[in-house]
Structure 1
Amino acid sequence: MGIPVSVQLADDLPYATLAAHADGAFAWLRLVDELFSTYKPGSEVSRLRRGDLRLDDCSPHVRDVVERCAELWRDTDGYFDVYAAGGLDPSGYVKGWAVQVASDALVEAGAVNHCINAGGDVRVRGCPADATAWRIGVRHPWEPLAVCFVLTGTDLAVATSGTYERGAHVIDPHRGVPAQHLRSVTVVGPDLGLADAYATAAVAMGEAALEWLAGLDGYESAVVTEDRRCFRSAGLPAL
């Protein structure tokens, strides 16, 4: 996926057990990269884009993700569009979804206190060894070494999308041009795949996203505009 991923395990378990849990999480994320990478010509997504592979012949993971992305397209009035830039690119959902699956697997295996950080998309469960809750810094969209929010909780999915890292890379599918009005959108809720997709859709919407985000059930948000205005929902779990 072209991003750094860290896994922090905070359970009081034998080192060998913790290492096995971490190895399992990274093995899953490497599999996701092999299936969904748009940079690897042999991935299933790349072969789908070229027309060398039919969706019916893809792995269950790819079929499920493409189906979920179609549902998200409907749920976001077409603003979450995996074809907005041309060929199929479900990256705006896949990263969060992959981390969510990894986190769920860790909980099922008994590693109930952990933090997975995939390039700023974060899933936390339980608490760190030295505190009663996790603290997650959301990067300041102009100052790389500063934060604009610090979120806290014991069961949070935090996804951020914007223009500060990769430029105006999110396409407004209704106008067919890069979205440039929102500098940063952070979405917080119970599922990282949905939070990731919602943040991407919100960037594509521009300032219309403020009203749309307010209507999301179970998800809170923070938005910074390109002209340096800042908005946050009332229930955002921020310090």
Structure 2
Amino acid sequence: MRRVEHVMGFPVSLRIDDEGFAGADAVDALFAWLREADARFSPFREDSEVCRLDRGEPDPDPPTPELTEILALCERYRIATGGAFDVRPPGRRLDPCAVVKGWAVQRGAELLRAAGARRFCLNAGGDVVAAGGPWRVGVRHPEHAGRLCTVLELTDGAVATSACYERGDHIIDARTGRPATGLLALTVTAPTLTEADAVATAAFALGREGIAWAAARPGCEVFAVTAARRVVRTPGFPTAGRARGTAA
């Protein structure tokens, strides 16, 4: 089973290799959940929960459990990075996208698992959750769009990359209020995309010191390209061998 939709501002592709998997309803639920997450937590939708909170216009009830969880994750990484990662830096609006994307896609993957899917690859704008692999995942070169800088292998886990090649200097070091420097790209593998995506962005905000910071996170492995074009790879980073499929 394969399906591709444009959700949350990027293409989301799903490949399920389970023969006999009859989970079309679960796939529908996955994409419906991603659309719901975008509507509720996007900083670009004026009627979203995030924008209402940012304007100081919360609902009569307290923030929903999901928004409370997202904001708690944001605060955890703000503290862990000494303030380099901050979803509300001075003078800017609340923007939890760095946490919401991985968190929402990971929840979607859990919907598939609950429906019985065991072999699948869910690719959300280049960030991937894989199960039942191994799967080969190509990481885009930070300076050459048509090339890969590495290929890794995932069995059950996730990978996320932070870089400037799609949205320019959009990752801010909140300690200075200026775009983060020191890295061209940083890729993190972790047990879940919730962690891989947040750690990759937080580490990028830290700059060169973010490589060691990310590598010290439990369960995380790192592949980074510094601003000096030096490649740094942690010993446990899963380099590719023979695998079932590909995702880029």
Q: 5+ residue gaps in structure 1?
A: 128-132
Equivalent residue for 1:107, pick from 113, 118, 125: 113
- For 2:136, what is the secondary structure of its paired residue? strand
TM-score (norm 2): 0.89
For 1:230 and 1:218, how far apart are their aligned partners in 2?
21
Q: CA deviation at 1:219?
A: 0.4
- For 1:29, what is the secondary structure of its paired residue? helix
Q: CA deviation at 1:109?
A: 1.3
- For 2:219, what is the secondary structure of its paired residue? coil
Worse-matched range after superposition: 78-87 or 170-179: 78-87
TM-score (norm 1): 0.92
The amino acid across from 2:215 in the alignment is: A
Equivalent residue for 2:104, pick from 98, 103, 116: 98
**Matched ranges for 1:1-239 at <5 A:** 1-13=8-20, 17-53=22-58, 57-84=62-89, 86-127=92-133, 133-239=134-240
Q: CA deviation at 1:24?
A: 1.1
Aligned residues of 1:182 and 1:206 also touching (Cα < 8 A): yes
Q: 1:55 to 1:45 in 2, by over 3 A?
A: farther
For 2:75 and 2:62, how far apart are their aligned partners in 1?
18
The amino acid across from 2:205 in the alignment is: A
For 2:60 and 2:177, how far apart are their aligned partners in 1?
25
Q: Identity, % of aligned pairs?
A: 45
State how many pairs are aligned: 232
Aligned residues of 1:80 and 1:197 also touching (Cα < 8 A): no
Aligned residues of 1:56 and 1:63 also touching (Cα < 8 A): no
Worse-matched range after superposition: 53-62 or 76-85: 53-62
Q: CA deviation at 1:42?
A: 0.7
- For 1:57, what is the secondary structure of its paired residue? coil
